[in-house]
Every structure is written in structure tokens, then in C-alpha cells.
Amino acid sequence: MSQAGVSGPGGNIYDLGYQSYDGPRLGRRSATGALFRSALLACFGIGRGGRAKIVPIVLGVLVVLPAVLAIGISALAAQAPGSGGDALENASPVRFATYHGLIVILVMLFAAAQGPELFGRDQRYGVLPLYFSRVLTRIDYALAKTAGLWVALLLLILVPQALLLGGRIFVAPDPVTGVGKEIASVPLFVAQGLLTAGLLGSLTALVASYTPRRAYATAIVIAIFIIPPIIVALVGNLVGDDAARILVLLSPGDVLDGTNAWIYGTIPDGPVVASLALPGLVYLAAALVGIVGATGLTIRRYLTIRA
Amino acid sequence: MPLIVLDALTKRYPGGVIALDGLTLDLEPGIIGLVGANGAGKSTLLKILLGLLPPTSGRASVMDRDVVSQGIEIRQFVGYMPEYDCLPPDLSATDFVSHMARMSGLPGGAARERTAEVLRHVGLYEERYRAMGGYSTGMKQRVKLAQALVHDPRLLLLDEPTNGLDPSGRDEMLALVKRTGTEFGMAVIVASHLLGEIERVSDFLVAIDAGRLLRAAPLTEFTERTGILAVEVEEGGDRLHDALVRRGVAATMDGRIVLVPLDDERPYDVVRDEIVTLDLSLVRLEQRRKGLEDLFRDEVPA
């Protein structure tokens, strides 16, 4: 090693030459975890330029807005005298059962905007050989990226409902009964959140991994959400409900509408989904098949891609 | 223990293209030049050694580990610089290289320290905080080398490291590669189709053509002296040639240069005497070395 020193009035600068690394090498699990964290942060534009933060901030504000409004209504209701408060409370359109319907389009737009960049850039810029020549496997890579998107979507869904929960407990006449009344909703919105984040995240990952061009991938993700419900409605009208009952299970938006109605015991938002009257478990099964199938195909994509 | 062992290694791509054809070879640590024309199978060999591509048949092992079953263990200690662009333009060199260090399993703090260290070594200073989209080709090649070095590998695989560089960029990159192999104590395999470059950095050479091994030997054997004496005089080369022929030396002309076969020491005296007799000005008198180009000229049918 060279030890050429440069002396000056402020001290000495030594060129110590090349230093080898003797520290820990944490291996595959650590690398996969680091990739998951960077994927999650990238979904929110963290570690990217200023422009990358616009979409997450705008959509983040929009998904929280109904919760803020609802807390305001609850606060008013708590102050209203007599049964007027209950009436106001019951008339509020923002409840846990309706939150999915209020924000699902925003969640889908978030996935359509952020997913393609997450999966497409490594393919567009030829970075995959650098990942695959390191300690993680192709499957690790695919799962870490997909999981990053899942968790980002889950946060987008759960944070506003956690706010709503906190707000409702806070404005209740006494917090103990408030907790008792509201806590039962937690497993319901967590379950629906897991299904929504899982299905939208997996489908977006699948589309984005096969479509490196960002604009195309975004358009396809939006189309997968918007177009099938129209087809289901048309087929229902023209061919009959039996055909529509099969097709509706291929429509991710309708499937999630179905699981939400089943979980909360309410009527689905979509009139077609409501009229088909399929058992809720069928929608749950369709969502799970969608999650597993799409993730499997995403993994397949990375196992076969040339790098 | 050899660094790399190849045993009848064959790679056939779908569609029938044979990239590697029964390559058998043991390689010891050092700076190894891998030469061959474009499409000779160099990149395919590097990718198989990394476990990026499975071989069709045959076996390969790196540091005594099988490339198919122990790929992850190998990749922990191997650095790879691909031939083509692999840098996202919106990231800075610092962010990118440190991310790649994490992808090799280094803890966060160590990843940042190593990133600073290797970027300094490849000669990227203030610009390392800028987005890489604005980098020159030379700077991009340095970042590519830095990401291959950041986890302090024992073996470095460089695929055409001077690709797209101007002559001074080439010199700097080759000096860096040489320093990596000697000062950093890493084994290096440099793949290139430019023989002149390989000659400057490697101490062992593997020449492949159409997926077959042409020759593997220390560089000195490739460039060993030939039995030809080249004589250059200022004017009157033809007169010297004629005089030598008259004295029974089978001299030939190569442009202005007189070539004299050297079977023993005698031609030296004859050449000296004739130059004095003819009163010529001697410019150069040297025993020719075999260039790498000669190897390919001799052994590869055009």
C-alpha cells in the first residue's frame, strides 16, 4: 500500500491506498430487505427528485380528505343536542364500510403511477444484470419489488382509516366506550385493505414487469380497472346474468367491491355487482387467486428475462 | 487451487447458436485477458461464471464453488462490470453505488463508507453527487467499475471496460484496471476484442474464437521473440538487402525494413560489416516480437 503523505500547515493528508473490506457481509436476506425498503420509499418518491414526490403527495392528501371531513362531522354530531347528533352521524357518507369505495380509484391511480417506474426503470436502463450478479436471486428481486408496492398501497389505504378511527374515538363522549364501539372495525378494514393492496399491487407488478415503457404500463393498469366493469355490465344486459357472473370475477374493481360488501355485510357499490348476488366467498377466492396468480407470473417474468 | 476451472463448458442458445464449445481450462489468479472477436463467446463465459446464464453442458467452478449450485456464494465475492449501459440517469453515483453495495449484502454504514472509498479510487470527486444522466462516457465507465468494486470482491469480471472511450479515457481506464489487479490484490478477468489493450494490462492471456479455446498462456509466451532481425537504415535499404543476399543471407524486404532470419549469431556480424562497407546510417536493429495480432493471423483462418 502506498503511504505518500502531503504535509501542510493544517496537518497531513495521507493516501492510504486501497483499503480492503473486512466487515460483515450480511448476504441474501439483508440485500432483499434493503431492496424492499428502497422500493417502498421509491413508491412515495423518497430518494428521488422533487417531481417524483408530486403524485404521492397529491394522492396521499386526497385519500386522507374523507377521513378529515368525517371527523369534522363526528365532532359536530357529538355537540348536537339529543338525537339530532345521531341522525347527523348516520347520514355521514364516510364510514369504514364506505371508505374502500371512496378511495379505491385513488389507490389504483397511485399504483398505476408509481408501479411502472418501480419495475420498468431497471429494465429500461439495463440495471438488472447488476442485481442478478449480486447475492439476491431473481425471485428475491421480484418479491422485494412487489412487496414494496404492496406495503405502499396498504399504507395509503390504512393510514386514513387509522386517522378516522382515532378521530371517532377522540370525539366520542367518553374514550372508553369510543374504543369499545370502534375497535371492532379494525380487523374489517385491515382485511379489506390487505385484499385491495394485494390485488392492485400484484396486477400492477405483473403489467409493469412485462411493460418496461412507463406510459404504456400506466395506461394498461388503468384500463384493467376501468374497462372490465363496463364489459360485465354490457354482457349482463345483452347475454344474461350467468355469463356476467363469470366475467365479474375477472374484473378487479368489481371483485374488491364484492369483498368489501361481504366483509361489512353491506350492499355492493356497483349496481351490477349487487344484482348478480354472488356469495361473498367467491369474491374472496377470486381476489386470492388474482394475487397468487399475478405474483407467480411476475416471478416467472424475472426468471426468464435475459440479463 | 485454481481460481477458475472450466470442464467441457458448452453453451448453446435457443435457435442453435453455439456460444461456447467444449471449453476446458484452469486459470490461476492474476490479471487475465480474455480475447476474441465480437461474438467469440467472451460475454457468455463471464455470464456463466456469474451464474447469470446456465451452461448447456459441462461444468464451471469459481473459487472451488460450482457456478450452477453455488452461484450466490460466488457472487458475494465477485464484481461484474457489464459491457453495456447499466446506470439509471436520475440517480447520483453516490446513491447508486451505495445501493449496489447494499445489494451485495453490506450493512448501510459500510455501504456508504465503501462507496466513498471506491468512487475516490476510480477518480470521481464532486461530480459523484450529480445525476448520472449528465455524465460523460468516461465518467459512466468509472461508475460501472466502482459498483463492481464496492463490495471488495476477490474476483473482478470486466466486459469491454474501455467501450466507447476516447484514447486518453482508454489509457486511464487501463491504468485503473492494472492498478486494481496489482495494488488491490484482486484477480481480474478483462474481456476485450482489442488485442493491443489486453496486451497492456494482463499477465495471462486466454484467446477464444467461435466458442473454442485458441490458446491460454502467460503473455510473455504470446509475445515471445521470433527468429527475425529487423534492420532499418536511413536510405539504401535495397542496397543492404542485395549485399546481404550476395553474402548468402536470405534477407527479405518489408517496406523500408530489411528482415534477416536469425538461425544463429552470424547474421549480426554480416549486417554490421555490410552497413559499414556501404556507409549506411543505421536507425534501428531489433529482434522482432510476435504481436498478438500474429497469433490470430496464424491460427484463425480468415
pLDDT digits (tens, 9 = 90+) for A71-83: 888 788 777 776 6
pLDDT exceeding 70 applies to what percent of chain A? 92
Asked if the Cβ–Cβ distance from B151 to A127 is below 8 Å, we say no
Give kind and range of the element (H or E) at residue B231: strand B225-233
If one counts the domains in chain A, the total is 1
Q: Tell me what pLDDT residue B75 has.
A: 93
Most confident of B97-101, B178-182, B206-210, B287-291: B97-101
Q: Which of B61, B224, B20 is nearest to B155 (CA)?
A: B61
Residue A178 in any domain: the answer is yes
Q: Which of B131, B147, B152 sits opposite A20 (nearest CB)?
A: B152
Which backbone phi and psi does A164 adopt, to 5 degrees? -60, -45
CATH superfamily of B4-222: P-loop containing nucleotide triphosphate hydrolases (3.40.50.300)
Residue A307 belongs to a domain: no
Interface test with chain A among B49, B80, B86, by most A beta carbons within 10 Å: B86
Tell me whether residues A130 and B89 touch, CB distance under 8 A. Answer: no
Identify the pLDDT of residue B266. 84
Residue B295 pLDDT: 60
**For B75, which residue in chain A has the nearest alpha carbon?**
A134
| pLDDT at residue A84 tops 70 | no
Cβ atoms of B131 and B109 closer than 8 Å: no
DSSP secondary structure letters along A276-297? H---HHHHHHHHHHHHHHHHHH
* Residue-wise burial string across B3-37, b where 16 or more C-beta atoms lie within 10 A, e elsewhere: bbbbeebbbeeeeeebbbbebebebebbbbbbbbe
- Please report, for chain B, the start and end positions of each structural domain, with discontinuous segments joined by +: 4-222, 225-299
State the pLDDT at residue A74: 79
Sheet of B282-289: strand order equals: B252-254, B257-261, B225-233, B282-289
Query: Rounded mean pLDDT of chain A?
Result: 89
Q: How many CB pairs under 8 A join A and B?
A: 102
Distance of CA B158 to the CA centre of its chain: 9
Give the residue with greater pLDDT, B292 vs A110.
A110
Would you say residue A124 has pLDDT above 90?
A: yes
Å from B196 to nearest chain A CA? 27
For residue range A190-207, list pLDDT tens digits in order: 999 999 999 999 999 999
Residues of chain A found within 8 Å of residue B90, distances taken between Cβ atoms: 48-49
Closest CA to B104 of A30, A119, A42, A129: A30
- Of the partner residues B52, B80, B105, the one whose CB lies closest to the CB of residue A31: B105
Residues of B in contact with A25 (CB under 8 A): 76, 104-106, 151
Could you tell me the pTM of the whole model? 0.85
Q: CA-CA-CA-CA torsion for B150, B154, B159, B164, nearest 10 degrees?
A: 40
Tell me: pLDDT of A181 over 50.
Answer: yes
Q: Give me the pLDDT at residue A306, please.
A: 82
A13-17, A227-231, B17-21, B67-71 — which is least confidently predicted?
Answer: A13-17
> Which one of A17, A21, A130 has the shortest CB-CB distance to B100?
A130
Chain A residues lying within 8 Å of B103, measured CB to CB:
31, 34-35, 130-131, 134-136
Pair B143, B96: CB distance under 8 Å = yes
Percent of chain B with pLDDT over 90: 59
pLDDT tens digits for range B181-225: 888 889 999 999 888 888 889 999 999 988 899 888 888 877 666
Residue A4: pLDDT over 60:
no
Backbone CA torsion sign across B157, B162, B168, B169: negative
pLDDT of residue B291: 60
C-alpha triplet B225, B226, B229: angle, nearest 5°: 105
Domain around A202:
5-290
* Distance in angstroms (rounded) separating the CA atoms of residues A10 and A3: 18
Which tens digit of pLDDT belongs to each residue from B217-251? 888 877 666 678 889 988 888 999 999 999 888 88
Q: What is the pLDDT of residue A14?
A: 59
Collect all residues with Cβ–Cβ distance below 8 Å to A304 and sequence separation of at least 6: none
Model confidence at A215: pLDDT above 70: yes
State the pLDDT confidence band at A11, using cuts at 50, 70 and 90. Answer: low
Mean pLDDT of B137-153: 95
pLDDT of res. B196:
81
Is A134–B107 a contact, with Cβ atoms under 8 angstroms apart? no
* Residue A306: inside a domain: no
Mean pLDDT computed over every residue of chain B: 89
B225-299 classified as CATH 3.30.70.790: yes
- For residue A135, the chain B residues in CB contact (below 8 A) are 72, 75-76, 103-105
Q: Say whether B89 and A307 touch across the interface (CB within 8 A).
A: no
Min Cα–Cα distance to chain A from B263, Å: 46
**Residue A112 to residue B34: CA distance in whole angstroms:** 45
Chain B residues within 8 A of A18 when measuring between CB atoms: 117, 121, 183-184
- Mean pLDDT of the region A166-170: 86
Q: B109 to chain A nearest CA, in Å?
A: 11
The pLDDT of residue B38 is above 90: no
